Structure formats: structure tokens, C-alpha cells
Structure 1
């Protein structure tokens, strides 16, 4: 049984990341009293009620966001499974208004990867961005920004970590191998020789591991990604939030008590970090309750081309969500070497937002 109060605490960051109005998510959270399967007042039911009301009025993107919250943190029964199905369906109805946004499913020997893609072209292939969230973020959470990448002059594939949403793969040590498989699947419609990964949280670990083996990857943008100490520091691991432990157990198929033994050799060592030839743009949270401070220290010491962005915040820096929404595309444009109005505009807006933050703190 999920800890409802903990879910309420952690879901706020995901609601803010989707630009969900505060009055909406507060109203739903106030109605939630328990997590009993399929019952009124439960997590999945109350969020699904909100999604159904929005879908009825044709607000399919907003409906998808509520259904996404309903299946949070992962599917553990019929109510959350129905919510995930409704989330994907609502996003599909929203997508009908954007003809360049398409559904993409990739079959691998171990399972299927579900994706949304945009900007694909056989006649004019663009540099590719792979966008992926962490262990509780489905691809539909990020799909609304697909049209943005076209304006940035990039093709994009939005997908999910193994075990998350519609990704049927198991989360394991070699899960990073799904990333080059995505490149192979779109190599005829995107310039995969110039690929950039916006892989947030745990997917950032996959991207860094992949980058040591594939010269097609030209840069990584990530937020709060585990690097090394997360996987080896048993004392830190024992203090992780319950929702994090439960989700990791679900994705790996391993009992929570056995996770430290599973993870002990997943750490990225100094040699691998030193071998990375591309820029790494990393946002760290100084009060991160999931990623230990030693992981940021490892990056500082060993990554040759590191741009570190730090906030006095908790995991994912939810209090700085608006600024991060600009930081991600600006970072992608900077590392790609783009010289266009979009880079200038995002850089200007980001600078103004940071200045406003400094003035308000002063």
C-alpha cells in the first residue's frame, strides 16, 4: 500500500513540471484520503475523475496530465492501468492537431519501447534529441513540448525508462543499450550522428553510461542523475524515500531489501567519467534527498566538460521548474553550437529569470 502523504509530497514536482494549475492539483489532492483499489477517495480514482471531466470538454492535453498523475508512481493494479491507458489515449487525441507529431514503437528482443516523435524527415534529417524522464515519469508527461523542438531545428524522440509506462523492458545494468537502439530505429529520418540526450534523473545515468561507447552522442543534459555513490553507499540508500525504493523494486523485479546488492556494480567509475568526450550539463539540488552529494563531487572531479547548475532545493528542483524549462532547451542549443534566434531568446529569458531570483532573495 502506498503512503498517501508521501505521494502527495512528491507528485507536486511532477504537476509543476507539466505546468498544471496549482488550484487543480491542490483540489484533487484535498479529495484523496487513501489508496484502496478502485474506491472513491483513492489516489487513482480521484485523479481519473479530474481527467475524465477535462476529456469530456475536449481538453485532452490537460486530461492526459491528470491521468498521468492517476497512474503515479507506477501501475500496481487495474485502476492505475486504466489511468495509463486513458493517459496515452488522451495524448493521442491531442496529437491529432499536430500532424508532425507521431507515435513510434520500437520492438527489441527483450520487449517494446513506446515513443512519441517529431521533426522526422527523410529528405531533410535534423539533429536528434532523445528526451526521457526518470523512474516515475512517463513519456506523455513531456510530449506537449514536442512541437518546440521543431522550432529549435531538431528532431526529437520522447520515451521512457525500462518498466515505466509502456516500456516493457526490465530495468537492469545494461538498460542503456535501449538508447542506441532508438537511434538505429530512426537513422533514416534523423541525423543520428549528431544526437543529444535530455535524460532527466535516473535516465541521465543511462545516457552517461551509453556515452562512453557511442560517438554519435554529442552531449547530455540531465537533472539529478545518480552517478556512483547512489549505487554503492548503503547507508544513504537506506534513507531513501519509500516511493523511490518501491518504484525501483517494481522496475527491476527485485525485492527492496536486495536492491543494494543488485546496484553495487552499476556505479560509473572515474575512468568512464574521464572518457566522456562530450559536454555534460547537470542541474544539482543541494538538498536532494535521493542523489547523494558525492555524485556531484564525482562529476566535478572527473568530467572534463561539465557545466554545473545548482539550486538550493530538493530532488528535481521543483521550486525552480520555470527556470529549468528554459535551461534544458538553452543547454541543448549551446552544446549543439546553434547560432539562431531561439538560442538568443532562451538565453535572454533564462538570464532575466535568474536575475529576478537573485533580486527577490536579496
Structure 2
């Protein structure tokens, strides 16, 4: 690169600023709905946050619920106070309050245990249900995306016994209590977790439910880890988001700011760091297990080319496509029915047909597609 002429002024490029409050509020709607927070409550909080601050308003709601003896409600509101990542002291406090409130709730209801593991890159915490060495069940390993804490999965943890599975819910690296740094080395997280859980936990197969960026880590791990029987995901980035500068430039500032926070980088250093994580056709050719994908046609984060790439390469992909934004916030019930139905089918559970019927009766099944061959329920692999 040529040096600037002598005496020339080099204008510094300012790093990108924080996300706009309106964008944060709009993207938070998915997480509020997923937690059962009424849209009217969200509207009131958003209005108040314009003057009092996002974290402060949600934290105040969380404190009120905790004082009233409603720890799960407190957990949900504090989770939004630290959303999309803890950026101020109030959000930091709420990040701790989320875990404390959930811990109080799970002790009250029973059947949910806390697990803390020391991995090579840091400490990972998880909530578990149904882990019993004497009675091994299919293991469902759940991991959210870059803004999702593990405490958001309370209903799924409670449903573990009813579904006949063991559940381990944890977080993406650098999210929540996970102190592993998010970046290229994060793709080792799932295999390392399975190593620590031990062979008995994976005896009946491992089904990874990874949302968004969590789905990307699951696909990366599935390339080489034979313990993984299937991957189920919603809006997982695969290649273009990591490798295409034009896709990165079009991302919401909330997304890029969160990735900066998780990686400890700024500006152009962030996409440069993440570029090696792209999974192209050569890498995806190693994924030979069933993959189930919920896609959104108006996804503002993950371009359509991501699941089109999967459809070209994977031998056993099934997907449903909703006319919705990232995470399909207007189709939460449909998404849950579709994913749990496929999970049960992959576990060889005949109750999957009932969920298929429920989804069909709702009349919102979305456009579906598939590749390859049907899977063998006994192995979870293509026939």
C-alpha cells in the first residue's frame, strides 16, 4: 500500500457507535414474545426506556417480580434488561439477577440441576434435566444465539421427562455465564461439552438444538463428532454472514455490536476475526446427519443463501420457511411444534405424528422442503 503524500492529513475512521434504541427494541420483540411477555408490556417499557434507559426500566420490572415472589417472571424481565449484552452497570447487575432468580425458581419446582464445567477455554454453566446414568435417554443439548441466555429455556427443561429425553441447556461462548471467548476456537465447544458429560450421557444419541449462531456451532461440530445424531436450528448463519463483506455491511448494528462485545474486537477487526468460521460446501460435505432448519423469508440477519447452500450440500435436510423476520417471532408456536415434532421423530417417538397434526390444524405450516433420503429412527442417520 502506498504511503500518503508528505504533509497530507489522514482522516481517522470513527468506530461504529452503539445500536439505535429503536432497533434494539424492535429486535428484542422476539425474545420478549418467546418469554411470554405481553406485547403491551413491551410497548410500555419501550416508551419509558426512551427517557429512563432500556436496562433501568426492565431491571425495575424484574426487581418488582422478585420482591413479589415471582422468580421466573423476574428472570425473564432481567434477561431483557441485559439484552442484547450487558453494556452498563445496571445490565451487569441484571445478568447476575437472571441466574439468581432462575436458581430460586428451579429449586421451587424441582427436577432441574445446575452444572458448572471447566473447559480448556473457560468456564461453562448449564441447567440440566433428566440426566441419569442409570436410565440413559436421548440427550438434547440446547444452545441459543449471541443474545440468548440459558435461563430462557425453563419450559423445555420442565418438559424433559414428558418428552422422554435428557436436556442440557447452556450458552454460546461469551454469552451469559460462558467465559469461553467467542471466535474461531468456539467451534470446539460442543465436543468439549460432550467430553465432560461423558460417554453414558451420549449413549442414546445427541441431538443439538442450536438457535441462530448456536446452530452454526452445532453444524461445525457435527462435521467430525460422531456422537451428534442430528442438528435442529432456527435461522443459523452458515457461510455468507462470515465470508461476504456485503452481508456483514447490511447487518443490524445490534448484531455487529453484540459480536464486537463477544469477541472483544471493534470495527473491521470483527469480521476479519470471524471469517475463518465460514462453512462452505467443502466443510458442509462432512455433515452426514439429519439437519432440521426453520427459515424466515424476511430474515434481516441471515440471508436466504445460507439455507439454500445447506439444501445443495446436505444429504438429509428438512426445512420449513415462514414469511417472517429473523427467528420467526410471529410463528413461535409453529416453530416449537415443528422442531419438537422433528426431535421426537429423530428419537423414534411416535408422538411426533400428533404434533404434525397440531401444526397442520393451525393452518400455518409454512412452505417446506427436503433433500436426500429418509432417516432410520434407530440411528438418526440416513437410510
TM-score (norm: length of structure 2): 0.88
1:178 maps to 2:163: no
How far apart, CA to CA, are the structure 2 residues paired with 1:70 and 1:351?
A: 36
How far apart, CA to CA, are the structure 2 residues paired with 1:338 and 1:173?
A: 36
How far apart, CA to CA, are the structure 2 residues paired with 1:230 and 1:2?
A: 19
How far apart, CA to CA, are the structure 2 residues paired with 1:265 and 1:193?
A: 33
SS in 1 for 2:205: strand
CA offsets 1:196-248 (integer angstroms, 9 cap, x no match): 00000001110001001111100000011011111111012111100000000
Give the equivalent residue in structure 2 for 1:346: 355
State the superposition RMSD in angstroms: 1.7
Q: Which of residues 57, 62, 65 in structure 2 aligns to 1:46?
A: 57
Rg larger for = 2
Asked if the contact 1:116–1:143 (Cα under 8 Å) also holds between the matched residues in 2, the reply is no
1:94 maps to 2:105: yes
Gaps of 5+ in 1: 35-40
Matched residue pairs, number?
350
Following superposition, the deviation at residue 42 of structure 1 comes to 1.1
Give the equivalent residue in structure 1 for 2:39: 22
Q: Which of residues 132, 138, 142 in structure 2 aligns to 1:127?
A: 138
How far apart, CA to CA, are the structure 1 residues paired with 2:129 and 2:261?
A: 30
Give the equivalent residue in structure 2 for 1:111: 122
How far apart, CA to CA, are the structure 1 residues paired with 2:203 and 2:117?
A: 16
1:207 maps to 2:218: yes
Give the equivalent residue in structure 1 for 2:20: 3
Following superposition, the deviation at residue 357 of structure 1 comes to 8.1
TM-score (norm: length of structure 1): 0.93
Give the equivalent residue in structure 1 for 2:298: 287
Gaps of 5+ in 2: 1-17, 368-383
How far apart, CA to CA, are the structure 2 residues paired with 1:91 and 1:283?
A: 28
Call closer, same or farther: CA 1:96–1:200 in 2, change over 3 Å: same
CA offsets 1:37-66 (integer angstroms, 9 cap, x no match): xxxx11111001111111122111111000
Asked if the contact 1:285–1:311 (Cα under 8 Å) also holds between the matched residues in 2, the reply is yes
Asked if the contact 1:162–1:169 (Cα under 8 Å) also holds between the matched residues in 2, the reply is yes
